[in-house]
A and B are shown apart, each in its own frame.
Chain A
Amino acid sequence: MTTYEVSTVVPEPRRPWDHSRSTLLRVAVLVTLSGVFGWVLNTVTGLSGFLGWYVGLAFAMPVVAFVGSVRHGWNMASDRVATAVITVAFAAVTIPWVSIFFTVYQKGSKAFHSKYLTDDMRVTPSSDIIQNGGVAHAIIGTLIMVLIASLIAVPLGILAAVYIVEIKGRFAKLVRFLTQAMSGVPSIVAGLFIYATVVVLFGGFSAWAGSLALVILMLPTVARTSEEILKIVPDDLRTASYALGATQSRTTFRVVLPTIASGLVTAAVLGIARVVGETAPLILTASYFVAKSTSLNEPIASLPIYIFSSLGLGDENATTRAWGGSLVLLGVVFILFAIARTLSTRLARK
C-alpha cells in the first residue's frame, strides 16, 4: 500500500493580471527620464511654460521607451514605443479639456455676486462694475425657448423612432437616413431658415422663432437616442401584448413606451443638452434683450447670446460677464448630463 504525502504548503497566491513591480518601476523611470528631458528643453530652448515642457516630454518618451527596450528585440520595442505614443497623445488631448473647465470656473466665478442669478441687465450696461446686474433674464429666456422646443421636438423625435422600430414601415430606412442628415445641418442654416420663414412672415425676432430653430437641431438627437433605446425592449413584451388582443397603438403606448420611460427622458435631456448652448441660430431668430421677459412674440435674452454679446464689446467687465455666463451655461450642461447618466444607468439595471 502506497501512501501519498500530502503537501501542506499552500503556494503564495499570485495576481498575474496586476502590473508587476518591475513594470511599474520601468514606467516610473520612463516618465521621469522624459520629464527631465522636457525640463532641459524647457530651460535651454525657447519652448516655454507647461506646454513647452509637455512637448519635450512627448517627444522624449517614445525615444526613451525605444532605447530602453530595443535590446529585447524589434517586436518588444515597437510595442513599447506604440504604448508611449498612444498614452502621450491621449494625455495631450485632455490638456485643452482641463484648461476649458478650469478657465471657465476660475474666470467665471469672478463674475458671481449675491444677486447674479436673480438680477437682469435692464439698467446695467455691460461695462458697469460686476456688482450690478445679472443673468436672470438670460436664464429665463433660455428656459422658455428650450421648454417650447422640447414640447415640439421630443414627441416628434420619439414618434420617428417608433416608426423606425415599431412600425418598420416602408420608409423606415429613409426616415433614419433623413434624421442622420438632419443632424448635420449647420446650426446657422437652421437659424437662416427660420429667419426666412417665421421671422420674415410674422414680423420680427421672437422667442417663438428661436424655439422653432432649436426644434430643428434637437429633433435628430432625440430621434437617434430614442431609437437606440426602443431597440432594447424585448420582443416578448410586444408578442405578449398582441396575444392579449391589443392593437399596435395600444401595445406601443401602453406597453413599450412606459417600459422605457426613463430612457425616453434621457433622450429628451440629451436633446436639450445639445441645443441649450446654441448661439448662431438665436442671433438670427430670438435676437437680444436685456430685461426679464416672458413674452413669446418679442425678442428674448438667452445665455449663449448673453455670452456672445458681452464678449463682443471688448471691455474688461463685459468679458468677465461673458465668463460668468459661460460658467452658468456649463453648469446647466453638467446638470443635464448628470440627469441623463443617472436615468440611463437606472434603465440599464432594469
Chain B
Amino acid sequence: MFRGFVTSCALFSLVVLVMIAAFLLYRGFEIFSDFGIRFITTSKWDIGNPEDTSTAVLGIGAMLVGSVVTAFIAIVVAVPFAIASALFIEFYAPRLLRTILTSVLDLVAAIPSVIFGIWGYVILLPLVEDWSGTLYKYLNWFPLFDVQTPIFGRSPLLAGLLLSIMILPIVTSVAREVYGQAPRDLIDASYALGGTKWAGIRAVVLPFGKSGLVGGAMLGLGRAMGETVAVYLTLNLVFDINFQILASAGGNVASLIANKFGEATDYELKALMAAGLVLFLVTLLVNFFATVIVNRSRKIV
C-alpha cells in the first residue's frame, strides 16, 4: 500500500514527460502533416491569408540554426572560463574564500533569467555594439565577422555572450565537482616528485575531469538552447539563416514561441506547439547525453 503509493508518485515525472510530448504532438500534428520535414528546413514565417491555411508557409529552420549558433557561442566562451574558475576555486583559493565562492556560484546560478535579460539589454548591449564595431573594422575579411550593413545591436554575439554568462555557474559547478574528486594521492605524488601545482593539475586533474567536463558543458548547452526571455530581449527576430554573428538578426526556437504567442492565429498556434515539440525533443536528447556522461564520470570515482 505504502510502496504502491510512493511508486505512483515517483512515476509522476514519467507521466509528465510523456504527456508533454503527447499533447504537443497532438496539437501540432496538423503542422507536421501539412509541412512534413519542411517545417524544420525552411526558414519562413508567413501565415498568408488568415482565412485559408493552405496559403501559409511556416518553417523554423532559421530558428533552429539560431538556437545552435547562440548556444555554440555560449559554450565556446563559457567552457574555458568555467575550467579556470573551477580550478581557481578548487585549487588556488584559500579555504575561506572557497566556501564563500561556492555559495556565490549557487546564488548566481539562481538569478532569474529575466534579470540577466534586462541587464544584457541595458548594460551589455552598448558594450557589445562597441566591440562588434571594432571586430568588424579589423576582421571583416573573416566570414564570421562580416555583415551586409554595419548595424550591430541585438546580434547573436550579444545573445551568445549573455547566455555564456548565464550557463557559466552550472558548467563551473559540475567541473568543480569532478575536479574535486581527482585522486588526491596522485596529485601529492606529483608534488613529492618536485612537480609544481600546475604540473599536478595538468597531469592528473584535467585528464581525470575530462568526461565530466564534457557532460557539464552539454548540460549548459541544453540550458542555452532552451533559454527564452534573455534571448528574446537581446536578439532581433529575423527569419533568415544567419551565420554572421555580428549582424542584428537571428532568433531561437524558444524566443520565437514567446514572440509569436501573443497575437497568433489558431493555425500559427499549432505551429508554435510543433516548434515546442521540436525544442523539447532536441533538449531532451542533449540532456540525455549530458546526464549519461556526467553519471558515468561519477561512477568511475
Contact = CB atoms under 8 A, between A and B. Distances in A.
A171 B6 CA distance: 12
Contacts of B210: none
A337 B108 contact: no
13 contacts: A82-B197, A87-B88, A90-B84, A90-B89, A159-B10, A162-B10, A181-B13, A184-B291, A185-B280, A193-B23, A197-B23, A216-B16, A247-B2
A181 B9 contact: no
A280 B13 contact: no
A188 B257 contact: yes
B76 interface: no
A283 B233 CA distance: 14
Nearest to B223: A184
* Interface residue tally on A, bucketed by range: 35 or more
Contacts, number: 241
A341 B100 CA distance: 11
Given A186-B254, A337-B110, A163 B198 contact: no
Contact of A103 (B2, B17, B20, B119): B119
Contacts of B6: 159, 162-163, 166-167
Interface stretch (B147-155, B241-249, B271-279): B271-279
Contacts of B199: 75, 78-79
Interface of B: 1-3, 5-7, 9-14, 16-17, 19-20, 23-24, 26-27, 80-81, 84-85, 87-89, 92, 103-104, 106-108, 110-119, 121-124, 127, 134, 165, 168, 172, 195-199, 201-202, 219, 222-223, 225-229, 233, 254, 257-258, 261, 272-273, 276, 279-280, 283-284, 286-288, 290-291
Nearest to A327: B115
A103 B123 contact: yes
Interface stretch (A35-43, A94-102, A121-129, A290-298): A94-102
Given A46-B134, A89-B85, A326-B115, A334 B107 contact: yes
A335 B108 CA distance: 14
Contacts of B201: 82
Contacts of A164: 10
A181 B21 CA distance: 13
A160 B10 contact: yes
A143 interface: no
Contacts of B103: 337, 341
Given A46-B134, A89-B81, A162-B6, A333 B13 contact: no
Contacts of B114: 277, 279, 304, 307-308, 326, 329
